[in-house]
Structure 1
Amino acid sequence: MAAMIPDNLKEIMIHNAQEVQNGLGKDHEPVVKLHSRYGKAIWLLSELDPANQIAFGLCDLGTGTPELSYVSITDLESIKHARLKVPMVEMDQAFEGKYPMSVYVAAAKISKRITEDDQILRRFLSLS
């Protein structure tokens, strides 16, 4: 099975996590966007612990309460459609994290969902 997140993006996420662990933490941009193919769940992830494949970022399960949290990449990769047996979670190849994570978090709290709307996100840029 092919990895959901390519190695080059995992390397960036691992580097971001190391910066945070070494007290050099900053407000990183999301590196990847994962989403459910048949649902509303979205994950914007910026950090990865390679030892246990746990990522950190903005998690939105489609319930109106997005939050910063941790998620297991291994678990997400293992979720399959019950009938079709295809992966349920995939990476958005076109996603580009343009803003610091705090901007996405602030916009998501107001919107009650993760948004990529530049007009909404720019309103929160000065707060980061």
Structure 2
Amino acid sequence: MIASFLSDAQRAQLIANGRMALAQQDFDPLPVVKLFTPDAGATWLLSELDESGEICFGLCDLGMGFPEIGYVALAELSAVRGLMNRPIEQDLHFHADKTLSAYAHEARLHGRIQA
């Protein structure tokens, strides 16, 4: 279920960041949430959500050595399963300490998200 990925507070912050990104071209927020596959190597650091609450923006790492910034639909994430058919989980201990672009730069250097 999509709602299980995000708390109401996280959803509100993601939408607020999405609005700021539309208003400010150089807006570079901290990621709000980290999602991952517990039985595969995929990770997502999400920083923005569109007004519809369906499309997120963030750093996406599918575990193939090529992390990239882009868009992902929450509905698509809800369908993702790892090698043992486990759904995506949220890293409840994640606290962003740098901007999304800083995480992206580091991820490109290492071939994976370093969070």
Q: What is the TM-score when the length of structure 1 is the normalising length? A: 0.80
For residue 16 of structure 1, give the secondary structure of its aligned residue in structure 2.
Answer: helix
After superposition, give the CA deviation of every residue in 1:74-124 in whole Å (9 maximum; x if it has no partner). 22123356876xx521111111111011110110011010002xxxxxxxx
RMSD: 2.0
Task: State the identity as a percent.
Answer: 36
Structure-2-length-normalised TM-score: 0.89
Residue aligning to 2:35 = 34
Structure 2 unaligned residues grouped into runs of 5+ = none
Aligned to 2:95: 96
Q: Which has the higher contact order (CA 8 A, sep 6+)?
A: 2
Which is higher, the Rg of structure 1 or of structure 2?
1
For 1:1-128, what aligned pairs fall within 5 Å after superposition? 1=1, 2-23=3-24, 25-51=26-52, 53-80=54-81, 87-116=86-115
Q: Tell me, in whole angstroms, the C-alpha distance in 2 between the residues paired with 1:33 and 1:114.
A: 10
Question: d(CA) in 2 for partners of 1:82 and 1:103?
Answer: 30
- Structure 2: distance between partners of 1:80 and 1:111: 24
Aligned partners of 1:66 and 1:112 also within 8 Å: yes
Structure 1, residues 16-73: CA drift from partner, whole Å, max 9, x if none?
Answer: 0000112365110000000012100000000001415110000000000000011111
Q: Aligned AA for 1:88? A: P
Aligned residue for 1:115, secondary structure, equals coil
Instruction: Give the gaps of 5 or more residues in structure 1.
Output: 117-128
Tell me the matched-pair count: 114
Letter in 2 for 1:100: T
